[in-house]
Chain A
Amino acid sequence: MSNIVVDKSKVPWWVSNVIVPLVNLTLALLVSGLFVFIAGENPIEAVKLIIYGSFGYIQGFAYTLYYTTNFIFTGLAFAVAFHCRLFNIGGEGQAYIGGLGVFLVAINLSFLPVPIVWLLAIFGAFLFGAAWAYIPAYLQSKRGSHVVITTIMFNFIASSLMIFLLVDVIRDTNQMAPHTVKLPEEIWLPSFEAFSGILGIKIRYSPLNLTFLLAIASLFFVWFLVWKTKWGYEMRAVGHNTQAAIYAGISPHKNIIIAMCISGGLAGLLGVNEILGVSHKIQAGFPAGYGFTGIAVALMGRNHPIGILPAAFLFGILYQGGSEVTFEMPNITRYMFVAVQGLIILFSGALENLFRPQIESFFVRRLNREVNA
């Protein structure tokens, strides 16, 4: 067995944070290419289609950014909890309940001035998502029930609860499908079409809307919270070393609750994009797996906003470009792209350290030679 010992302090930041993820990503894509090849299609063509689908025309690009918005929220949600060493895999359920928050606030307060409705709806999304995360957080900190188990159970509970509400309580009674009535049009968030008119481009429809800016703002918010405030400091302290936190008078209980609530709140913001921005009603199952993919986004982005942005964008490209591929290549199904996502998670999450020591020691040696030369 080779035992490569690398002096971590000598490894430049860009090697561990840029080169290593890129190598892992490349490997995942190479293996994916192999799958495409086995399925009887040309991998190069598939890549071309992905690029065309996600960048080639303005509407496609708008879709890419729309997906990116959702991944930023769920990726950040996972990252915040992870800084307190909590594996919040309940983003899916928190997003679902967050959607309920948006809808309830928007429909009941739609008489208020529009920007205020927006703000309150965003607040509602955050609050409902946070509340849904609060229960597992409480159980973890007071009773020691592991947050991984409880959050995943809470995904199922959220799903059942929402189906119940959508069927029996808040369904649009003029029809049979499990969704609510539409929100009044004047409080919809302006979508990209509206702006594109101003820019002189005409597109038919795009789901991209103002929430994208909220996502960008959330990136800043998380960065500031985690690294620039005493709350973030305390959360990280509890996450890294609970014993030491107690010694310093930092309450693990309080910080577990705070971290989980902020995490759940961020996941809840996905509801803003989906409900206030796109469909304008609650549809059964609208979080559609974004909550889970957010885990991969966070892992790939190394739980840092600067990493989460490109990672979310990458998954946006895969989603949008992937649907282009499945449209054009009959042998490639939607599930192939789930597999591609799986490979990315495998290589950048589970096998994260597969090549790290080799790559790092390679660069350390290289750089050292330059210094000595």
Chain B
Amino acid sequence: MVSPILELTDINKSFGHVQANKNINLKINKGTIHGIIGENGAGKSTLMSIVFGLYQANSGSIKINGKEINLSSPRDSIINGIGMVHQHFMLVENFTVLENIILGFEGETVFGEKLQKAKEDLEKLCKTYNFNIDLDATISDLSVGFRQRVEILKSLYRGAEILILDEPTGVLTPQEVDELFKILRSLKDEGKTIVLITHKLIEIMDLTCEVSVMRQGEMVGHTKTEDTSKEQLAEMMVGRSVLLRVDKKEIKKGETIFKVNNLSVKDDLDVTRVKDVNLEICSGEILGIAGVTGNGQTELLEALSGIRKVESGSIELFGEKISDQNNFLNPRMLKEKGLAHVPEDRQRMGLISDFKAHENLIFGYHDQEPYSKSAILNNKEITEYSNKVMQEYDVRPNSPNLITSNFSGGNQQKIILSRELNENPKVLLVGQPTRGVDIGAIEFIHQRLIDMRDKGAAILLASVELDEILSLSDRIIVMFDGKIVGEKENKNVTDRELGLLMAGVA
């Protein structure tokens, strides 16, 4: 019998009146990879933040190697051999790898001996685990995958025996994910313990030895990974069985209604991010854009939706030119022509988080009847409409007067979606529709998009989730470095194939 390296007993934590963790018990065995899976808001991150000393539990105990410890700050955790790699990296961009790793642990006022020693130690660590990192590289020159490695290395250097990774694969290409998994396995082989927080079932099945499932702040199950299946885990996560693949009718392709010719677009820093892109979308079709974040998808969507100026080339809607380098129609005019846009970043663009839900439900349509008449808002109509769509889209809680930031990510996304789909657009541009959204809502959102397609809308879907692209799209294009590097009918395409394109290799 292996003794647990980390043991949590009856952990409770609440924020105000939201109980994020209820009587959590968890045992993590030494030298294993332990997965913690659950929907967004299930309390996974809170629990691990308690273990890392970022939050303090209201009650309960934490034992490491059988000894009860008190963790009141991350420093305590580091001393006790716990390291955490956050979803958002905590690195100083203009420092080198080495400088970032020793930050806070310099040990000397003037760099000299100890720096040299640190460097040697780190080189040894890199070799042991095959990190392949240049310690003198500046962080801003490194890709996301490498930055993550720096974070892992930082934890190891500080003596971490238990390494917590919070949603580590969200920003990686499939190849980078493979590399990461290789590293994690070798860490395990060296006797380190890894805790992997994720909501992706595939990762759990691939990597972990044991898995714990959380739902609504409670621990709903522990099991050995080999004794379970994706379907079973998914059911435990949501509390009911879910459809993992979307049922899709045979495509009924209509005529081309949206056309992009030789489009180039610059970002705010005057860097060309979209390079000579051509594409066409027919009615009744979903065109998926695969690609790693930052390869021009954002700027492409912004240009297509009338937010960003076009550098060269043109965009046509129903054969009419809506945008070229000289002028472009603004989003409101495009809405009138039947083009709707679900933006990538709902916090930054799709919503005003300080507004009430009903105000966001009319956002962009606020000057149309019946919501307003001769510039005066019609509260009665707005409330009626809000109640109706919030019910239809199952937005919870169903209260139009609640401030939007109080809704969960999935419900915020439903607010945007209901607003954009309500007018039955002819062309729908969708960016990252399920980013940070829980499984129940993903299913719902996917179904809505398919419904729109079946009703004859032309849909452009940009997503960094390959699964999403593969299960929804009829046709797939891959963007890399602003260019379209591949186009495939979605028949027998593998994620491997797309992954190579996404990485710019093929």
Contacts and interface: CB of A to CB of B under 8 A. Distances in A.
A249 B335 contact: yes
Interface string A244-284: 10111111000000000000000000000000000000000
B18 interface: yes
Nearest to A245: B352
A240 B332 contact: no
A231 B375 contact: yes
B341 A247 contact: yes
A241 B375 CA distance: 21
Contacts of B135: none
Nearest to A7: B16
A337 B355 CA distance: 38
A148 interface: no
Interface in A216-238: 228-231, 233-234, 236-237
A244 B17 contact: no
A233 B366 contact: yes
B354 interface: yes
Given A244-B350, A247-B341, A10 B377 contact: no
B359 A249 contact: no
B254 interface: no
A247 B377 contact: no
Which bracket fits the contact residues of B?
35 or more
Given A241-B348, A244-B352, A230 B363 contact: no
Contacts of A241: 348-349, 351-354
A249 B375 CA distance: 16
Contacts of A231: 375
B333 interface: yes
**Among B16, B335, B402, residue most surrounded by chain A Cβ atoms (within 10 Å):** B16
Interface in B1-41: 15-18
Interface string B35-64: 000000000000000000000000000000
A145 interface: no
Nearest to B378: A228
B440 interface: no
B355 A229 contact: no
A195 to B, nearest CB: 34
Interface string B299-333: 00000011100000000000000000000001111
Contacts of B402: 9
A241 B350 CA distance: 10
Contacts of B341: 247
B343 interface: yes
Contact of A244 (B15, B335, B348, B367): B348
B372 interface: yes
B376 A229 contact: yes
B364 interface: yes
B420 to A, nearest CB: 11
Contacts of A5: 15-16
B229 interface: no
Q: Do most interface residues of chain A lie in helix, strand or loop, or is the interface mixed?
A: helix
Contact of B364 (A8, A248, A251, A368): A248
Contact of A233 (B332, B333, B359): B359
Contacts of B332: 248-250
A361 to B, nearest CB: 8
B303 to A, nearest CB: 13
B348 A243 contact: yes
Interface in B356-378: 359, 363-364, 366-367, 372, 375-377
B406 interface: yes
Contacts of A10: 16-17
Contact of A228 (B343, B367, B377): B377
A24 B410 CA distance: 38
A228 B375 CA distance: 9
A214 interface: no
B183 interface: no
B207 interface: no
A233 B363 CA distance: 9
B403 interface: yes
Contacts of B15: 5, 7
A229 B348 contact: no
A236 B355 contact: yes
Given A247-B305, A249-B331, 9 more contacts: A7-B15, A229-B376, A240-B352, A241-B354, A244-B351, A247-B331, A248-B331, A249-B335, A364-B17
Interface of A: 5-10, 228-231, 233-234, 236-237, 240-241, 243-244, 246-251, 361, 364, 368
The 4 closest A-B pairs by CB, nearest first: A7-B16, A249-B332, A248-B364, A249-B331
Interface of B: 15-18, 305-307, 330-335, 341, 343, 348-355, 359, 363-364, 366-367, 372, 375-377, 379, 402-403, 406
